[in-house]
A and B are shown apart, each in its own frame.
Chain A
Amino acid sequence: MKKRRFSAALTAALAAALSFTGMASETKIEQSGGTASQDVSAVYTPVKEAEVVYSVDIKWGSMEFTYTAPDVVKTWDPESHTYSETLAGEGKWTHEEKANEIVLTNKSNKALTAEITVAMLQNYSGITPELSAANLSLKDASIGATTSTPGTASEASTAITLKGALTDKTASKTTVGNVTVTIKDAEEVQP
């Protein structure tokens, strides 16, 4: 019974507290000409930091590669009256200058990382791609920037080279694989 009375009192107190949200204090004036005063205060809402704007330019090289098969040396066999063939060396992959490059320019107000992955199509699994860098770090372009002074865009690049043989002799600018660039926030460095 005592418990119930206590809980009822508590409920009443809570209800009273809730109904006076924002009320700070109470004073009593007990004489004519009497005064009571209260300070008025203010807080300043700071200017919110700019939200992150992602802007990364990707400059792709043409990604056009040429496979030059190795020379075939045919040797005549007078006994069997047939040629036997041997390959002189290995095939060679070439490309125009910078055709194999991927250049990333970060204009975001955030440091980023880029992950570059290359996947060859199933029919061309004998070709092995290699990247000069599979992960790139891109600095925050807003470092040092103000409303009047521009920041600096950061740039990073990687290059693809192909190994192995292209067996499809009919290939002519045939798609043999694809490159994916995935942008992520750079991990915050813990102090």
Chain B
Amino acid sequence: MKEKKMTAMLLAAILALPAGEAVFASDAAGPAVNPDKTDIKATYVEGTVKTAPVYSVDVQWGSLEYTYDSAKTITWDPQTLKYVETQGTPEWSCGENADKITVTNHSNMEVGVHLDYTKTDANISGTFDQNDFTLKAPAENSEQAAAESKTATLTVGGQLTETEEKKKIGEVTITVTGLEEPAGELKSTQNVEYSTTLYKTAKPGVYKATVECPEYGYYYFQFIIDGTTYYTSDNGLKTNRPASIYMTQGTKEEWILDINKLSITRKTIS
């Protein structure tokens, strides 16, 4: 009975020890077993904080109603008994703040804002004082009023044909894009293998990537947007065939890839 108990104790001690460290002294027949102990160690690793982006961008529109003054004046000439028409410089005007568009970011991430003017009257153009800008995310627990906002001003120009009614001359479209939002992968699969993340920018169809060059030579980069594969070349983007682009070893570049213009703008960072 006693022997049975000793055997059980010995077995428990063995199980308590880490594998490979059998440190006990007794012979099978001996009754004495020296007790032994070891530390239990633990390491805390932070869990990944996962925060889903929540977009909430307010757009406050001015009325975007403009007035065109043709600056034509008609006067009566009593000598000739005819009307005389004189042409001054035509002017566009609008009410106070009617030409302003204010965008405020209440999202939990930085956003890019892009403004577009689309003509519906071919003779009238619209330009913004700024049509691409970014808005930082508000700090946690900050007040509503602390949200970053920017205001763009729309100036219209051209000649409006005579009309009695208020007439639509164009349309402003604002596109908001979450920055730091990956859009895909920029990958070189031939010659030199290398890949980096492609990010969205404020402007639709324009992407950004940081490219480091582990070795010099020709890289065959490609990326896919909406099912279309784009290939990088020294002359811009191609869609019909793989192309190469030359890189110098050890440089780090910021690339702006515009799929609207099929262009690449490269800037050396280091």
Interface residues of A (CB under 8 A from B): 20-53, 55, 107-109, 141-142, 145-153
Contact = CB atoms under 8 A, between A and B. Distances in A.
A31 B82 contact: no
Contacts of A44: 67-68, 70, 160-164, 167
Given A22-B62, A26-B61, A28-B59, 18 more contacts: A21-B96, A27-B61, A29-B55, A29-B56, A31-B55, A32-B176, A35-B176, A39-B170, A40-B170, A41-B167, A42-B68, A42-B92, A42-B124, A43-B165, A47-B72, A53-B75, A141-B78, A145-B81
B95 A22 contact: yes
Contacts, number: 189
Interface string B94-126: 111111110000000001000001000100101
A152 B82 CA distance: 9
Given A24-B61, A30-B55, A39 B171 contact: yes
Nearest to B58: A28
Contacts of A36: 59, 173-174
A35 B173 contact: yes
Contacts of B19: none
B117 A32 contact: no
A38 B65 CA distance: 11
A142 to B, nearest CB: 6
A121 B265 CA distance: 97
Contacts of A23: 60-63, 97, 100
A21 B57 contact: no
A8 to B, nearest CB: 20
A55 B53 CA distance: 76
B204 interface: yes
B84 interface: yes
A36 B169 CA distance: 17
Interface in B113-164: 117, 121, 124, 126, 154, 156, 160-164
B177 interface: yes
B183 to A, nearest CB: 10
A53 B82 contact: no
Nearest to A149: B82
Contact of B55 (A27, A34, A43): A34
B83 A50 contact: yes
